[in-house]
Amino acid sequence: MLPRLRSALPWVLFAAVIVLVGATGGPFLMTVGMVTALSIILSSGMNVAMGYGGLLNLGIGAFYGLGAYGTAILSLHFQASFWVILVAVVVVAAVTAVVLGLPILRTRGLYFAIATLAIGVIGTDVANNWVEVTQGPIGLAGIERPDLLGWDLSDLQPMYFFAAVVAFLAVGVVAFFARSRYGQVLVAVREDEQLAQSFGYRTLAFKVGGFALSSVIAAVAGIVYAYAIQYVSPTPFSFLTGSFQAFVVVAVGGGGTVWGPVVAAVLLVGVPDLLDFSPTTNQFIYAVALLVVVVALRGGVVPALRRLARRAAPPRPPVAAGTGQGRSREVPGQRVPAGGPPTA
């Protein structure tokens, strides 16, 4: 029972913070919470590829922009509803990720990172130069927030709750993925692809699936961004402001952990916005945070906190020999077979 309570505690705390900020926070605090929620969604997408798949996707900002521009174009030019936009963006993002993933996921390491970086650069160039559709650097303005199941998102408070709920669901998707067979196999592929192949797994298919899920979550973050800001331009989806920020959040929080991106998004995005730091100061914070993780916090903040908690926990008393019931028991310096020591 106690382990279940411990595992449920972060979810309860996350939900409580969402409700507390929305119920008692002013416009500024809710705006900061909305920006933090966007970072959590995008970083959760990056976490699937980078943390669980070992795939450094430096082009995730392109899928972030695909979701935002898709929302803007469908909303402004076709007056599409939220559900139509959601389905269209998810399908296009998934198909695009599979089509691009099949060739580039045959590469590894640095070559894959360079290929995805090229995708991000192409996405930024398209947004800047396809003026007939994207309006270039001027961007697309006037995006109307939808009425979602009778929930009017035109005001700040419901829009904040919408962004926060999507962030909560994105973390839930990552948690479910991490516990699923698919996620566990993807981790095995990350650790030793040849060994996974020797067990009969089609490793390319698992990597393409992880890459597609990562891209879809990033595209959903773009949908939330378009409705929250009501204006879309190329800059937020470039490498430095899109992909690199997501990379830093995952690296600092702890890749391959459910709560790493959440903790790091609060520390690196929420707190600086709350203190109204300048963009230059934010970049300095990112650099220092990465340096601290590389030098002192192996694996990120959340894994470091887990190691600290294990060290602080009282040691378990040794189990006396002969008390096992059908299981092997160990005492210091001696292995005792199941059922207790042999009798004369």
- 182 versus 335: the higher-pLDDT residue is 182
Residue 321 has pLDDT above 50, yes or no: yes
Specify whether the CB–CB gap between 27 and 156 falls below 8 A.
yes
Lowest mean pLDDT segment, chosen from 143-147, 170-174, 334-338: 334-338
Distance CA 208, CA 182 (A): 12
Find residue 169's DSSP bridge partners. Answer: none
- The predicted-structure confidence for 14-34, as pLDDT tens digits, reads as follows 999 999 999 988 899 999 999
Domain ranges, ordered by start, for the chain: 2-312
Q: Please identify which residue in the block is written with the tokens 């035109």.
A: 154
Q: What is the mean pLDDT of residues 308-314?
A: 75
What is the pLDDT of the chain when averaged over all its residues?
A: 87
Handedness of CA 188, 194, 199, 205 (dihedral sign): positive
Q: Please identify which residue in the block is written with the tokens 């030019």.
A: 77
Quote the percentage of the chain above a pLDDT of 90. 65
- Which of 213, 236, 231 is closest to 38 using CA atoms? 236
Listed ranges 150-154, 233-237, 278-282, 327-331; the one with the highest mean pLDDT? 233-237
Lowest mean pLDDT segment, chosen from 3-12, 75-84, 176-185: 3-12
Name the pTM for this structure: 0.88
Check residue 308 and give its pLDDT.
83
Check residue 337 and give its pLDDT.
43
CATH of 2-312, one of 1.10.8, 2.40.50, 1.10.3470, 3.40.50: 1.10.3470
Residue 306 has pLDDT above 90, yes or no: no
Specify whether the CB–CB gap between 299 and 250 falls below 8 A.
no
Residue 179 has pLDDT above 50, yes or no: yes
- The predicted-structure confidence for 98-125, as pLDDT tens digits, reads as follows 999 999 998 888 899 999 999 999 999 9
Residue 154 has pLDDT above 50, yes or no: yes
Check residue 52 and give its pLDDT.
94
Check residue 340 and give its pLDDT.
45
Residue 323 has pLDDT above 80, yes or no: no
Specify whether the CB–CB gap between 246 and 132 falls below 8 A.
no
Give Cα 5 to chain centroid, integer Å. 24
